[in-house]
Each structure stands twice: as structure tokens, then as C-alpha cells.
Structure 1
Amino acid sequence: MKKIAIVTKYMMAGGIEKALINMLNTFSKEKYDVTLYVEKLGGDFFEDIPSYVNVKVIPEIECGNKERIGSALKSFKIGRSIEITKGLIHNYQNREYVDQCIGMCKILPKVEESYDLAIAYSAPVSLALYYVAYNIKANKKWTWIHNEVDQITVDIQDAENVFKEYNKIFCVSKLAKEKFDLKLPKYKNKSEVFYNIMDFRLMEEKSKEKIEKCFDDKQYKILTVGRVCEEKGQDIIPAIALKLKEKGIEYKWYVIGEGELEDKLKKEIKRLQIEDYVVLLGKKLNPYPYFRNCNLYVQTSRQEGYGLTLTEAKYFLKPIISSNTAGAMEQIVNESNGIITEFGVDQFVEQIISLYHDSEKCKCIEKQLQKERIKLIENKKIEEKLKEI
């Protein structure tokens, strides 16, 4: 039986975590002994982790530094206490995020167990990336790139050295790979595209569950799903909604998700007096009944690595209007299986009104999605890759 270690941050309700759950569900418990290391327990998707996966908190990550040093000295591990001290000095002298990750890995103990494969899943730049590289012994090491690296707050080139510890660097879209290769061309031969795994059977099953009456009416229903943050762009929804209202469009726009911009969004909706048009549903662990019953899916993201929600909307044959992110342009052929637009209030208003009035165009999009849906199958590529270990 092959031993696999996977390191991620926290099982919050997000696209990365959902993709990880789908991946974990594909592992054969007869073939693989899987351990998932997290920075802390809990999170909305924590209960969805398969029972055969061993879940562990990264050793000593929740301890204070005095406790770490004291424990090392009591165990007569002088070298360990020196390493912790070096890490503390390093982090005191270097405040950049990449340096803080390096210092933290010096502070944290190395995992005693050895693995056939270790995976850093919450990347491109994260503690997991460094922890797998420097604190876990494994015959092979893989990492995942979930974003366009030129869009993240940390310069990926600052993390250049850590990638030499990895055998494979998986990017969740073609454009994500192109941008990674452009930034770090020396690792081009290690990087490859690996699309997020989808569990369509489970999506179909969950989509039949009952939902709130407020959603089950005859009004034209627009849906947006995602973490409520600047990256996902929901902050422009109130301005779009107001213009749609002023142009006489009868609709309700449902926003699923929570995040740092949620309060700001609520205040703006109230200020513009569009409470009857925009409904914030908050966090929904099962968004699939809403996908099934909406009329239009709108993705307002400023950036998107691949975009699970776009794939989900496509599966439920919904017309999509999305900003021109990497994930959207890889999944949507403009005017064929959806609409791609530039990011902006007026651009979204124009496209929403166009589809609202053009039922024939919506039917054509649905027909194209129906053809593509036949080809949508659960991704078995992970099984092929695991043969390499």
C-alpha cells in the first residue's frame, strides 16, 4: 500500500477545498494510505473528508514558541531548540511572507514518517508549499497552482528556490501554466495542466434537495456563487443591479457565499435601495439546487484560476456571463456556450439585458452545453498519475 501525505491550510467552504474533497474521494482505500495535514481542524468541508483519510494537525503549529523550546530542552533535543531559535531570528529579521514561511518551517519539527508521495495542495505560495518541501520526507513531491501567478499578492519569483524540491507542478488551467512558465521558465518541464476533479453524480443528487421558497418563484433568477471578496468581484453587483432596475428588468439576483466584503455589500444594497432585487443568501454548503433552478449564472471575478462554479453552471445547462478571466476563457467559447465580457459594470449590464430579452440565444447556448455535457465525465487522471509513484 502506497503512503500519501497531503498538506493544506483549512477545510473552509471554497473551490480549492471542494476540489480537494473530490480528489480524496477518488483515492482507493485498498491501494493508498492517505494522511491529510491541516493547519487547524474544522471548516465547512471538514465533515466531507472521507473516513479512510487520516487527518492530522501539522505538529506543533498551534504551540507557542516558549512551549516548543521548552519541550525540546526537556527531551534533550538541543539541536531542535537551536533550529527553533534560528527560525525565530530569521522571522524577526525577514518580514516578507515567503521568508516567514521559510522561518516557520525551521520552527516546526520535521515529520518523522516517510511517504511515497507528498502533495502541497494550497499553493502557489503558502506554508504548505514550504512544509512539504522541507519538513516531509517523500520519494516524490507534487504541488498545485490554483491561481494565475501574476495576480497573487506575493511575487512567485521570490519563491523560486522551493520549486526545485518538487517533481511535478500541476496548474489547474492552461493559462495558469502559461503564466507560471513565463515567471519561472526553469521549471517549465515540471509543470503541466491538471483540471480540478468534479463529482457530477454527487452534484446531480444534491441538486434535487429542497431550497428556500424565496428562490422558488417565477421571477427571472440570476445566480452568483463564490467567496465574497475583491478577487471574485461581487462588489460591482449592486451597481449592475441598480442599472438593471432602472432599465425596467424584472429579476432577482441571488448571491451565495460569505467573505470579507459581505458587510460592505449589504450596506451598498441598502444604500441603493435594491433589497428587492439582490438577495444575499450567505454560505450554502449545497449550492446545486440553486444552480438547477436559476435562469442565468453570472461570474464577476477579477481573477479565476479555473473556476469550479463555471463548470457547475455548465453541467446544469445554464447560460453563463463571465468576466474574461483565465478560467472563463478556457471553459467558455464566447457566443457559443456562454458569454465572455470585460470586467465592468456597463459591460455586465449590456450582456445581462441581451440574454434577458433573447430567449432564442439562450436556447442555442443550452443546446451547445447539452452536447458538451455528454463529454463531461469524472476526471480519472489522478489515478493515472498515481501509477507514477
Structure 2
Amino acid sequence: MKKKLLFVIPSLAAGGGERSLVNLLSQIDYSKFDVDVFLFHQVGMFLEHLPEQVSLLPHPINYRRFILPLSQSLAAFLSRGQFRLAYRRLRYAMVHRTPLSVGEREQKAWKHMAETLQGFTGVYDTAIGFLEKTSIYMCVDHIRANSKIGWIHNDYLKLETNAAFDQRYFRRLNHIVTVSDECAATLKSVFSEQSNKVSIIHNIVSPNIICRLAQHVQQDLFERRDQETVILTIGRLHSQKGLELAVEACRILLDRGLSIQWNVIGEGEERESLDRLIDRYRLGQSFRLLGLRSNPYPYLHQADIYVQTSRFEGKSIAIDEAKILNKPIVVTNFSTAKDQIRHDVDGLIVGMNAESIADGIMRLIENKELRNRLSQALSGMDLGTEDEIKKLYQLLA
């Protein structure tokens, strides 16, 4: 008999965790597993990449009313005499306006959202909260399953959450999965009582799929000017990604007389502030926010250098993908950078400031021998991680 699995994640919008889930689902043996997915928001460019064997669960009716804009939500509840849920919706909105960290706001908001997610009738062999915080809370509080897994995709200490709040949920999990050695060490340090539950499953990436998708577009996507060097960054427009450092580094490189264009694939809440910064530095022709791309691999294939300016990461899928396409890579020295890049062997790790980022890029631009050496080192590596699915199967046994 097939085992029944449920994966819970906020959405399938652009992001490393979301892409990681789609990659994982592409590797599952559907002759052995029936798989459901619950999304808090049924949106995102990765929706179209869900395998056809996966069932997307509908939203409960009260949750559909809850996620309406505030005035519409209140009207929907009040007109039906659901005064308690109207109060919860109002309190939820107020929590999100408090001066707490994003992580703590999400934790405090959960109890107000949670009532609208009651009543799931399905019973699963395993329920998996595939992203930290709300996805895990829902699996623990509202899903009936023989075992429950929480998946942490980032350095826990950078999430700015209340560890005591999470401790109550982690005690009720059977397994806690994370994506790198550094992330696992942090979890074991913060949650020492739960350290025996922590496992590492690296993000699944497939060189065959990535190389095939990279060839889908043949024309030059970047409209190069003369001998221009094309730099690419992939990531959400979010403070975590440090993109204002990228804008500043771009200005520094141009002031040094280098001919470059820097492109960013991604979308997010910092677009307006980044647009203003781009205007301030007069970079309209040199630093481009391309928005979302369902297939970023032709862009990555055609770029000369890949740069990741993050403040923190769990394990960056974009870096792994750049490695598969043998790109010279520059990354900032976030806590897990050394889990993916060996400095001066298969990439460069630089300081987390615009000057150091510019120095690293300039070094690659001016040193063709170094670029070739880094690319050759990557070309000789076995970078596929499809077998990571076997680690998940062991937890599901």
C-alpha cells in the first residue's frame, strides 16, 4: 500500500525553499507514495512545475475568508455572525503592524490564523512542514499524521524568532531536517534537547535537467555592449540577499573604468527601495532588476560571473546551480558560505561590503587564468544531489 505524504509550504513563489520542494517532488517515486501539497497562498511561478501526480489541497472556507483584504474579511465574518473569527482577523492585522522582527510577528500571528485552518480530515503517514515557522506550526497543530517533520532552510539564528516558541513545536516533531552542516550545528546548539532529531538533507539539484533547461533560449538575453562583462544574481528582493551591496559594488566597478552590466532575477518587497538606489547611483543602464523568470538557467548559462551578496543563507540553490553551469562565482562570507564554496578553489568568498564584493569581481574580470581555473575545478565535480531523496525515504520508513 502506498504511503500518504503531505507537504506544507506558504506558496510556490520564487525562492530557494520553494524551488527545493519542486525539485524534491520531481524525484519522488510515485509508485510508493501518494503526495498532497497545501499552500497558504496558491500562487507562484513554480506551481506549473508541480508533478501531475501531486494533489493540491483546497483552502478551508474560513481560511479563504481570512486571507481576504482586511475590510472584506471582516465583512465576510461579521455577516455570518462569526465574531470570534472577525476578532482574530483584526488581531492578525495588528500583529503585523507591531515593531517586532519578521520572525516573531509570524509566530505571534499564528494563533490568530490557526483557528481558520482547523478541520482537515485527511490522515497521513507523514506530514512535512517544508519551511520554518508557520508551515511547521500547521503540521503540528492541525494535521493528523503518524510522524511529523519540520524542515529548516536557513541559519536558525538569522530567522529572528523566539526559540522558546519553536521549542514547544520541535518537541512534537519526529524529525527536524535542515540543509547544511552549519545549519545543523546551529539547530543542535539552540535546541540541544532535540539534537538527536536533526538530520541533513541537501537541496536536490539535477545537472541533467539544469543543463537541458539552460539551452532553451539561443539568442543573447543580455544585449551586451562591446566587451561588457555580464554579472548575474538570483534571489528574492529582500534584505537577506544584500542587494543594496550589489548596487553599490556596481557603481564602484564602473567608477574603476570596468564595462559591466549586472542583472538580478527575482522579485520582492525591496524593489522600490532598490529602484531608488539604482537611480541615485545613476545605474539605469548597468544594473537591471529583471523580475521573475520561470526558467532562469539560460540567463545563468549566458552570464560571465555569478555573484551572491547574501547576509545569510541555509544552503543556496542558486549557488549550486551556478556551480553546475561552471560559472566563476563570488559570494559574501555569510555563515554557511564555506559549505558550498572553497575560496580560490571553486569560487571566491569576499567580505560582506560593497568594496570587497567589487574587489572580488574585478579580480575575476582582470584575471582570465583565474576564471578558467575556477570553472575547470567545477567541471570536474559531481554536483548532482538526486540521491538525497534516499535520505528522506529513510525518515519515512
Is TM > 0.5 for Structure 1 vs Structure 2?
Answer: yes
In 1: Cα distance, 2:60 partner to 2:390 partner: 29
* Closer, same or farther: CA 234–29 of 1 in aligned 2, 3 Å: same
Three-state SS of the structure 2 residue aligned to 1:157 is helix
Partner of 1:210: 217
In 2: Cα distance, 1:183 partner to 1:206 partner: 40
Three-state SS of the structure 1 residue aligned to 2:158 is coil
Matching residue's letter, 1:177? A
* Matched ranges for 1:1-389 at <5 A: 1-60=2-61, 61-64=63-66, 88=88, 95=95, 97-123=106-132, 125-126=133-134, 128-210=135-217, 213=220, 215=222, 217=224, 218-372=227-381, 375-387=382-394, 388-389=396-397
- Count of paired positions: 375
In 2: Cα distance, 1:118 partner to 1:46 partner: 20
Matching residue's letter, 2:128? I
* Closer, same or farther: CA 241–306 of 1 in aligned 2, 3 Å: same
* Closer, same or farther: CA 280–382 of 1 in aligned 2, 3 Å: same
Matching residue's letter, 1:49? L
Three-state SS of the structure 2 residue aligned to 1:281 is strand
Q: Bigger CA drift: 292-301 or 214-223?
A: 214-223
Matching residue's letter, 2:111? I
Matching residue's letter, 1:46? L
In 1: Cα distance, 2:286 partner to 2:153 partner: 33
Three-state SS of the structure 2 residue aligned to 1:221 is strand
Q: Is the 8 A contact 2:11 2:41 kept in 1?
A: yes
* Closer, same or farther: CA 133–360 of 1 in aligned 2, 3 Å: same
What TM-score comes out, normalization by structure 1 length? 0.89
In 1: Cα distance, 2:326 partner to 2:299 partner: 13
Three-state SS of the structure 1 residue aligned to 2:386 is coil
Matching residue's letter, 2:247? P
Report how far residue 153 of structure 1 moved: 2.9
In 2: Cα distance, 1:366 partner to 1:99 partner: 46
In 1: Cα distance, 2:147 partner to 2:206 partner: 27
What TM-score comes out, normalization by structure 2 length? 0.87
Report how far residue 225 of structure 1 moved: 0.9
Q: CA RMSD in A?
A: 2.6
In 1: Cα distance, 2:151 partner to 2:377 partner: 31
In 2: Cα distance, 1:148 partner to 1:279 partner: 29
Q: Is the 8 A contact 1:7 1:36 kept in 2?
A: yes
* Closer, same or farther: CA 343–384 of 1 in aligned 2, 3 Å: closer
Q: Is the 8 A contact 2:14 2:267 kept in 1?
A: no
* Closer, same or farther: CA 298–178 of 1 in aligned 2, 3 Å: same
Report how far residue 361 of structure 1 moved: 1.2
Report how far residue 318 of structure 1 moved: 0.8
Matching residue's letter, 2:58? V
Matching residue's letter, 1:63? R
In 1: Cα distance, 2:125 partner to 2:60 partner: 20
In 2: Cα distance, 1:188 partner to 1:291 partner: 38
Q: Bigger CA drift: 345-354 or 263-272?
A: 263-272
Partner of 1:76: none
Report how far residue 195 of structure 1 moved: 0.6
Matching residue's letter, 1:34? V
In 1: Cα distance, 2:124 partner to 2:22 partner: 20
In 2: Cα distance, 1:59 partner to 1:107 partner: 7
* Closer, same or farther: CA 162–70 of 1 in aligned 2, 3 Å: farther
Q: Is the 8 A contact 1:240 1:345 kept in 2?
A: yes
Partner of 2:101: none
Per-residue CA deviation, residues 318-339 of structure 1 (Å, 9 max, x unaligned), is: 1111001234210101111101
Per-residue CA deviation, residues 158-183 of structure 1 (Å, 9 max, x unaligned), is: 22101111111001111111111111
Per-residue CA deviation, residues 215-251 of structure 1 (Å, 9 max, x unaligned), is: 1535211111111111101112222111111111112
Matching residue's letter, 1:62? R
In 1: Cα distance, 2:359 partner to 2:243 partner: 17
Q: Where in structure 2 are there 5+ consecutive unaligned residues?
A: 67-72, 96-104
In 1: Cα distance, 2:19 partner to 2:278 partner: 29
Report how far residue 212 of structure 1 moved: 6.1
Tell me the percent identity. Answer: 26
Matching residue's letter, 2:57? K
* Closer, same or farther: CA 168–90 of 1 in aligned 2, 3 Å: farther
Q: Is the 8 A contact 2:251 2:281 kept in 1?
A: yes
* Closer, same or farther: CA 34–303 of 1 in aligned 2, 3 Å: same
